[in-house]
Structure 1
Amino acid sequence: MKRKSLLLAFAACLALGAGLLATPHAHAQPKYTVTAEQLQEAVAQRFPRRYAMGELLNLTLQAPRLRLLPQQNRLGTEMVVDAAGPALANSSTGTFDVDFALRYEASDQTVRAHQLRFNTLRLAGLPPGPAALLEAYGPTLASQTLQEVVLHKLEPKDLMLADGLGLEPGSITVTPKGLVIGFVNKPLR
């Protein structure tokens, strides 16, 4: 009788275990987190940047202040812009605002900015001519400034567990505290 009860209990455990294995959430896949501070530090290393707009105007972009936009799964940034040159009577300071999505680049294991959206470029006290030129040049400046900028580089040690499980970085989710990189199964080769 004890043997029969033990076998029934063992069979029930096996059935329960098999049911758990079949559910998609039974095995939590690893995730990798990048804090807002880590992102800010990585971006700040690539600034200031200078851009000439012909011989009329020179722009200097200071290190951006990143904003996490979890509702849109994007990052935003605002940069201080200093403008000077023959097109201006006096130098001017203002702000440049863009937002962007993120993507993972497997070739160098980096998280990069892409799908940039130009929002605004405002400089205080500009005459209408230079102001219109800057507004027209804004999307190009955004692309040159942040398109494909590396925001974070994953190290081999960061990927060791996932690689051993046959996984690679997949989704990138913007949260109120930073980024969460999810992993997906590597394609069969």
Structure 2
Amino acid sequence: MHRRRFLNNAGTAALALLAGCASAEPGYTISLQQLQQALAERFPRSYPLAGLLDLELQTPRLTLLPESNRLNAVLDLAATGPLLAQRHGGLFDVDFGLRYEPTDRSIRAHQLHVNALRVDGLRPQAAALLQRYGQQLADQSLREVVLHRLRDKDLASVHALGLQPEAISVTPRGLLLRFGARPLP
């Protein structure tokens, strides 16, 4: 009887601890600003396309898409290479889902969808080549990009309660990482 009461009280205390003051849902919130800062450390990035074009992608500008539980990233780009007489600017627009990677406690982009890939001033054959490689470029440049990495101290109390990250939701305030029971060894 005492054990059951202790476990109920511990569970209630854990949920209160996880909920925090600002959110009614238990979890850990990661703000859009935190995501932007993490990405700024990983960009710009350069990608060659079939030896004909070289694209340099700048730091993504993220938008939260809570209605679809995804994020949108818009990246400015610069294109150079043998198909171009001069450097051209452009835009790369993708949406993506999220997944948690327990081995390094990271939240990563996955399930990318290209909305637009545009390079200003391209000749038609170069534009067609670029469109053909759009999804491949998205997979190379953003797939599995680490958007946030949890620190040991972020998860210490959660692990002590036998919980682990379980689901990620995109909310108007940022990402909400929810926790569930950790499997017994």
Q: 1:157 aligns with which of 153, 158, 163?
A: 153
Which deviations, in whole Å up to 9, do the C-alpha atoms of 1:60-116 show, x marking residues without a partner? 101110110000001110000100112013321110011111111111111111111
How many angstroms apart in 1 are the aligned matches of 2:80 and 2:107? Answer: 33
Q: Secondary structure at the match of 1:157?
A: helix
Q: 1:27 to 1:48 in 2, by over 3 A?
A: closer
Moved over 6 A (4+): 24-27
In structure 2, the residue matched to 1:128 is 124
Residue identity opposite 1:181 in structure 2: L
CA 178–158 in structure 1, closer or farther in 2 if over 3 Å, else same: same
- Asked if 1:111 is matched to 2:107, the reply is yes
| CA deviations over 1:107-126 (Å, ceiling 9, x no partner) | 11111111111111011111
Q: Distance in 2 between matches of 1:27 and 1:177?
A: 22
Number of corresponding residues: 168
SS at match of 1:88: coil
Q: What is the match of residue 55 of structure 1?
A: 51
Counterpart selection for 2:94 from 98, 113, 117: 98
CA distance in 1, matches of 2:56, 2:145: 17
**Could you tell me how far 1:27 is from its partner in structure 2?**
6.9
Deviation at 1:45, TM superposition (A): 0.8
Does the residue aligned with 1:71 lie in a helix, a strand or coil?
A: helix
Gaps of 5+ in 1: 1-17
Q: Which has the larger radius of gyration?
A: 1
Matched with 1:178 is: 174
1:28 counterpart SS class = helix
Given the two structures, how large is their TM-score scaled by the length of structure 2?
0.86
1:13-32 maps to which residues of 2 (within 5 A)? Answer: 28=15, 30=18, 31-32=27-28
Distance 1:25 1:157, change over 3 A: closer
The CA RMSD over aligned residues, in Å, is 1.8
TM-score (normalizing by structure 1): 0.84
CA contact under 8 A between 2:14 and 2:161: conserved in structure 1?
no
Q: Is 1:82 matched up with 2:69?
A: no
Partner of 1:146: 142
Which residue is equivalent to 2:36? 40
Instruction: Report the Cα offset of residue 26 of structure 1.
Output: 9.8
Residue matched to 1:137: 133
Counterpart AA for 2:15? A
For 1:169, the equivalent position in structure 2 comes to 165
Partners of 1:52 and 1:26 lie apart in 2 by 53
Specify which of 57, 60, 65 is matched with residue 61 of structure 2.
Answer: 65
